[in-house]
Structure 1
């Protein structure tokens, strides 16, 4: 089992010392939150809060995901970084490919690309991208990013993008894992069909989602080294980690603060570091990793 540290919407000055502390403590990776802008007016709901409230995001600091990943990679030597998740279809896929390849090349292949579809029409509107057919657009974006980051000339003709033969340089020496986030049937199918892994955002229905993902992986003949990243209370005990391993989970995402609150994060940095170190001592060190 690999362990991923999660901290978001905190003072940006905390990120580098937290990443360095997580690396020293034995974590494999750190997830990076993504948000482009916060709309003042919106009827949209947030899918991962019980009441659909989105107000907890107002005035919270988000460093751009590729910028933060590069900064943290420069301050560490072994820790991996994965956006959790990048709102891919609102962005130009060629630019995403260039950004992802650059971070992966500079970091020595320590970058994975977690991607998903924004639940907010406003994200599409402000980026001048149609909200309709966003799933099909997402599929083309994934194919373009994978093709361009593999190296060599790549061309693409689809319903949304028509790209002549181009290449980007540099590209990393290893493929960038593309991990698909989301709990819906289309998201699970997309992960099994196009992804190198799946990212789970928490909740009580993990067993159902894993079972369905397993069915879809069988249907599409998913690669054996498919990654399964989950948030689960089982991830906080040694016995629970073993249960997750038995279910095919490869990576546990753990955080030590509830981010879905309207209040600003006032937890001191030294307490954050103590929390991640305590988990490393009581769970990571005793889980055979």
Structure 2
């Protein structure tokens, strides 16, 4: 089992020290959240909270995801960083491929690129991208990422992107894992057919079991027998060694753990020292006992 430390919507100045503390404590990875804008007015709802409220996002300090990854990679030497998740189809995929290749090259292949759809139509509107057919656009973006991060000449002709063979240099020396976030059936299928893994966004244990069962069904139907397919989950079972064993038995490869509820209005008042204390205690009580 691998362990990913999650902290989001806190002070921007905390991320560097937290990444260094997580690395020292033995975590494999740290998540990096993605948020582009906060519209003054919106009818959208957030899909991963009970009420759908979005007000908790207002005035939160979100450093642009790829910029923050570069900063944290410079402060660490072994820690993997996993955007959770990059809102891919609102971005130009050729540019994202260049950013991802650059980060992977500079960090020694420590980028696990979590990607997904934005739940906010306002993200698409602000960046001049149609909301319609966003799933198909997502698929094409992943194709472009896969091709251009190979370091070889790659051309593409799709419904949304069309360009002659291009090459980007430097390229990563290892394949960048594309990890698909989302709970819809289309997201699970995309993770299997086009990705290298799936990222769970939270929920109760019964729902997680349903999603894992469905993911297994899709993998079987697609003939996917990869040993390195990644399954990242958020679960209460991740907080004790016996629970870790249960998750391993269900095919989970990576546990995402955090130590506070980030979906609160107003600033995060928890001190940096307390955050480090939480992540170190978990490392002592769980990571050190189950190994990686």
Q: Shorter chain as normaliser: what TM range?
A: over 0.9
TM-score relative to the length of structure 2: 0.98
SS in 2 for 1:51: coil
**1:124-176 CA distance string (max 9 Å, x none):** 00010000000000000000001000111000000111011101011110000
Alpha-carbon distance between aligned partners in 2 of 1:207 and 1:185, rounded to the nearest angstrom: 14
Displacement of 1:80 after TM fit?
0.2
State which of 264, 279, 284 in structure 2 corresponds to 1:281. Answer: 284
Listed as ranges, the matches of 1:51-90 within 5 Å are 51-90=51-90
Alpha-carbon distance between aligned partners in 2 of 1:189 and 1:103, rounded to the nearest angstrom: 27
**1:2-23 CA distance string (max 9 Å, x none):** 0000011111111111100000
Alpha-carbon distance between aligned partners in 2 of 1:245 and 1:252, rounded to the nearest angstrom: 10
Displacement of 1:257 after TM fit?
1.1
**1:67-101 CA distance string (max 9 Å, x none):** 11111011001000010000000000000000000
Runs of 4+ more than 4 Å apart: none
Displacement of 1:263 after TM fit?
2.4
> Unaligned 5+ residue runs, structure 1?
none
Alpha-carbon distance between aligned partners in 2 of 1:220 and 1:164, rounded to the nearest angstrom: 30
Alpha-carbon distance between aligned partners in 2 of 1:225 and 1:184, rounded to the nearest angstrom: 22
**1:9-51 CA distance string (max 9 Å, x none):** 1111111111000000000000000011111110011000001
Displacement of 1:119 after TM fit?
0.8
Q: Is the 8 A contact 2:59 2:266 kept in 1?
A: no
User: Equivalent residue for 2:270?
Assistant: 267
Displacement of 1:219 after TM fit?
1.4
User: Equivalent residue for 2:147?
Assistant: 147
User: Equivalent residue for 1:209?
Assistant: 211
Q: Is the 8 A contact 2:4 2:256 kept in 1?
A: yes
Alpha-carbon distance between aligned partners in 2 of 1:24 and 1:68, rounded to the nearest angstrom: 19
User: Equivalent residue for 1:106?
Assistant: 106
Displacement of 1:288 after TM fit?
2.6
Find out whether 1:138 has 2:138 as its counterpart: yes
Alpha-carbon distance between aligned partners in 1 of 2:222 and 2:116, rounded to the nearest angstrom: 20
Alpha-carbon distance between aligned partners in 2 of 1:175 and 1:201, rounded to the nearest angstrom: 24
User: Equivalent residue for 2:258?
Assistant: 255
> Unaligned 5+ residue runs, structure 2?
none
Find out whether 1:225 has 2:228 as its counterpart: yes
SS in 2 for 1:285: helix
SS in 2 for 1:150: coil
Q: Is the 8 A contact 2:101 2:171 kept in 1?
A: yes
User: Equivalent residue for 1:3?
Assistant: 3
Of 260-269 and 206-215, deviating more is 260-269
Residue-pair matches, total: 289
**1:188-242 CA distance string (max 9 Å, x none):** 1111111100000000110000000000011122222100000000001110010
